[in-house]
Amino acid sequence: MKRTISSIALAVGLLVGSTTVMASEEGGLPSAGTNVSDKASLQRGAKLFFNYCVGCHSLKYARYSRIAEDLGLSEKEVMDNLNFTGAKFGEPVISHMPEESAATFFGKAPPDLSLEVRAKGADWVYGYLNSFYLDPTRPVGWNNTVFPNASMPNPLWELQGLQTAEMKKVDGDEVVEKLELSRPGKLTPAQFQQATRDLTSFLEYVAEPAALQRQRYGIWVLLFLAGFSLLAYALKKEYWKDVH
């Protein structure tokens, strides 16, 4: 019986713990601290994605209708505030920019972001969004410490402001020592970090929408298993009482 209770407690702990991304110890990435159970955070992240990212990036495995259902939004709210391409409610999220135009402008078509968090992790995406800095040597005028020589400009620069890099020499090569906010944006640094956390949370949800349902059903499954374990134990006691 003690083993059964311990197993149930462990399963509950894993279920609750899975909603928050812990700090990454590899590569010095900051902890994203995302929580896909926070519906308000997902809604704010969706707003950021559709206002700042969908111009170039698609979510071809996500449909407007599914996003509305999972995030607690009505069809009207989604179609009026998140759909800027004229797509139908049941269609997937496709970027505004045709792939041919994007490839000409950026050198290659921007990637679909449906599985970005699953491929690289929430900490990587969160760190990437916070690590853009001005670099006049790059074709688009920007660089990134998490993904050096990225072809992408900072889509959130108006919110974050402009970061510049302080360089140092390591083995004869110049590397970024730290980033400084040389010109503030519309948000304070703390507000911007929350905004990028919300955006990362939304991309984490998009990467695995079933996670929300799994957590919702998981509690009931665990309660069922707990009740069934008690009944099984009582039945075992009844069968074996004459033996002992």
How many structural domains are present in the chain? Answer: 1
Sign of the Cα torsion 107, 113, 115, 119 reads positive
Residue with tokens 């407007």: 64
What is the pLDDT averaged over residues 75-91? 94
CATH number for position 10: 1.10.760.10
Here the contacts of 106-111 (C-beta below 8 Å, separation 24 or greater) are: 106/56, 106/140, 106/151, 106/152, 107/139, 107/151, 108/151, 110/56, 110/57, 110/152, 111/57
* pLDDT reported for residue 4: 43
150-166 pLDDT, tens per residue?
889 999 999 999 999 99
At 93, the amino acid letter reads V
Residue 158 belongs to what domain range?
2-240
pLDDT higher than threshold 90 for residue 2: no
pLDDT band per the 50, 70, 90 thresholds, residue 241: confident
Checking if the pLDDT of 23 tops 50, the result is: no
Q: Do 148 and 93 meet the contact criterion of CB atoms below 8 Å apart?
A: no
Contact 133, 139 (CB under 8 A): no
Amino acid identity, position 191: Q
